[in-house]
Structure 1
Amino acid sequence: MIRFGIIGYGKMGQTRHQAVLRNGTGEVVAIHGFPGDPVPEALAVASPEAILHDPSIDAVHVCTVNAFNKDLTIAALKAGKHVFCEKPPAFNAAEMREVRAVEARAGRVLMYGFNHRHHGAAVRMKEIVEGGEFGRVLWMRGRYGKSVDENYLSTWRADPVLAGGGILIDQGIHMLDLFLHLGGDFDEVQAMVSHLYWNTPGIEDNVFAQFRNSRTGCVASLHSTMIQWRHLFALEVFMERGYMVLNGLKTGSGTYGAEQLVVARNRSVAPAATWEQESSQTWDADESWDREALAFAGWIRTGRPGPAAGDSLGALRVMELIDRIYATERHTAPRLYKRLNAEADQLEGV
């Protein structure tokens, strides 16, 4: 029986707790919450240290604001705990390399919450890519957007010191991870980062980015936005002998619509494929949280990560792309992000 501690009991802390309970992957024995978190009284502890220094706790879920992810992950690893940390893993690739150095010495499982890999449609897409029937991935196009209102500006996500950035590091990071998960790495990046509507310094509301692997030629295009006005998730993957088009994402709120995956084989005579030749599958339930909980527990028990487990190398690759997106945008002052990261480093421990 794996004994879990949870640091942070907002939406994600509660989600992880419920997944452990549903799947019987272990027992949550201690929770440290922040002001306003509805921590069950019987499990409440006064500080993160109460969890980190408890020798009976095997694994820790880090479910805090972005600014604390790196430091708490490092502290937990040094304390001998297995760690599951929500995204983003850090504010930049340099911080992620710090984490990996500690991980290498700790010899413990470190998994990151790139939850979208575990959605039913994404699992199926990975199986198709790995199966090789449709050949190699040629190009991908991802659009991921949500709508926010003025209330968003009063949350920690609109504070660059706590969040580390805007819609890219908040939500677009999931699409970047799926690009890497399905299509391999990228060494060329072009990007435009915009403040089209909300005009909040350090919190971009739109990112337009393109990526290319110069060795394979695979290209990917991303639009990440918080002024979509109607929530949207769409991912297209085109291969040598077929394609996959995912529209919608099954979530608890239902705001991204049905999770529908269309798959078709290419034909040799144009038009290569017709609507009638497509097959469609829809997922009516979101089982991603359960899959993720089982993957973390399985990795701890066996010492081997599953095919969709978000490891630290994948997290580093994502952060390297995010660094390059922010760095290539001429309208974003690099000094601003450098200062914000420095301020986050100076935050006192939780």
Structure 2
Amino acid sequence: MAHTVGIIGFGKMGQIRAAALEEDGRAKILKVFDNYLPEKPRFAVAASAQEIIDDPKITIVFVCATNEVNKPFTIAALKAGKHVFCEKPPAFTAEDVKEIMEVERESNRVLMYGFNHRHHGGVLKMKQVIDSGAYGRVLWMRGRYGKSVDSDYLKTWRSDRERAGGGILLDQGIHMLDLFLHITGAPFDDVHAFVSSRYWKIPGIEDNVFAIMRNRQSGVEVSFHSTMTQWRHLFSLEVFLERGYLVLNGLKTSSGTYGVEELTIAKNRATAPASSFDTEERMVFNVDTSWAREAEHFMDAVSLGMPVLYGNSNQALDVMSLIDRIYSNDHHLSESLHENLQVVGRN
């Protein structure tokens, strides 16, 4: 069966997805819609998102728009009998994702979310090494993901709580949290976090998140920082195991702002102080094939009936549940701190 695609949101992400689909070659793009088309596209332009959802000739809908429409457009497209690919975040809360999953089950259609970082070459190699067991079990992980923004950021929809749903955590940190869950294969039982907006001071839009997490059964502990006050783009994921370590620094992107995507792998050197780095193996991923891999994975599910292993709704629920806990954990911590300060003041 020849599949046809409608893309809702044809900015940067919509165009990236279109190019990847054309490279895959198993689906034809029929229509696109965006309120602000950057230039006249090569495809027919729909008058509205609803036109794409309602079009009986379209079998697949890509939702590449602003965050607040991800949930309603996904639900509407599934109810219309379409397969759906949706960018992250899947929604604003875990309860929202559960509502989507109910419709997904009834629709019997493919639903996949754009957790693109799972498809990066460096991440794929990390997961392969970890799953091999050659380096033993994971002991701990540390992830930092940040970028620099300027005052122009305040003029975009990302600074509007109603449209964005949150700040840097939903915008970027969600990818790192998804990778933690991807590597451990299990949720975190203990979560402690600080969520703040002390520099940009946009209501409801956090500019920093610090969190520590632990899975009690495995003992894996995680340190996490998501920020937009770092003044430089940075991605760093470190995984330390019983018999070695893996460190992924940088991500290969079209803009090049995250630098070189370099994975360092080394065996544990038991002789103290183990300060020699001459046994490290370094792998550099010079080409970003993540978008093509992601499109292939989605089309395999649609055309061949293969399962969605990366970016399925269960994984979306897991990461949104963790995000809910990070937001609520900081809220409760702040309340407790405020109460303690009042007690001290009375004394």
TM range (shorter): over 0.9
Counterpart in the other structure of 1:236: 238
Map 1:23-42 onto structure 2 (within 5 A).
Answer: 23-40=24-41, 42=43
Secondary structure of 2:283's aligned partner: strand
Contact 1:190–1:211 (8 Å) recurs in 2? yes
Counterpart in the other structure of 1:130: 131
Matched AA of 1:257: G
Counterpart in the other structure of 1:345: none
Secondary structure of 1:285's aligned partner: coil
Q: Distance in 2 between matches of 1:333 and 1:55?
A: 51
Contact 2:240–2:246 (8 Å) recurs in 1? yes
Matched AA of 2:163: L
Counterpart in the other structure of 2:339: none
* Distance 1:126-1:25 versus aligned 2 partners, 3 A rule: farther
Asked if residue 215 in structure 1 is aligned to residue 255 in structure 2, the reply is: no
Counterpart in the other structure of 1:66: 67
Contact 1:244–1:262 (8 Å) recurs in 2? yes
Q: CA deviation at 1:330?
A: 3.3
Contact 2:138–2:242 (8 Å) recurs in 1? yes
Contact 2:112–2:308 (8 Å) recurs in 1? no
Q: CA deviation at 1:32?
A: 1.4
Counterpart in the other structure of 2:295: 293
Q: CA deviation at 1:49?
A: 2.0
Asked if residue 17 in structure 1 is aligned to residue 18 in structure 2, the reply is: yes
Q: Distance in 2 between matches of 1:140 and 1:271?
A: 21
Asked if residue 162 in structure 1 is aligned to residue 163 in structure 2, the reply is: yes
Larger C-alpha radius of gyration, 1 or 2?
A: 2
Counterpart in the other structure of 1:43: 44
Which ranges of structure 2 fall in alignment gaps of 5 or more residues?
Answer: 336-347
Which ranges of structure 1 fall in alignment gaps of 5 or more residues?
Answer: 335-350
Matched AA of 1:241: R
Counterpart in the other structure of 1:84: 85
Secondary structure of 1:277's aligned partner: coil
Deviation per CA, 1:219-249: give whole Å up to 9, x if none.
1111000011011110001111111001111
Asked if residue 117 in structure 1 is aligned to residue 103 in structure 2, the reply is: no
Matched AA of 1:188: D
Q: CA deviation at 1:269?
A: 3.3
Deviation per CA, 1:44-71: give whole Å up to 9, x if none.
1111222212222111100010000000
Q: Distance in 2 between matches of 1:66 and 1:280?
A: 37
Contact 1:9–1:39 (8 Å) recurs in 2? no
TM-score (ref. length: structure 1): 0.92
Asked if residue 247 in structure 1 is aligned to residue 238 in structure 2, the reply is: no
Counterpart in the other structure of 2:342: none
Asked if residue 95 in structure 1 is aligned to residue 79 in structure 2, the reply is: no
**Among the aligned pairs, what percent are the same residue?**
56
Matched AA of 2:19: Q
Map 1:272-291 onto structure 2 (within 5 A).
Answer: 274-291=276-293
Q: Distance in 2 between matches of 1:304 and 1:150?
A: 45
Q: Distance in 2 between matches of 1:183 and 1:137?
A: 8
Contact 1:29–1:43 (8 Å) recurs in 2? yes
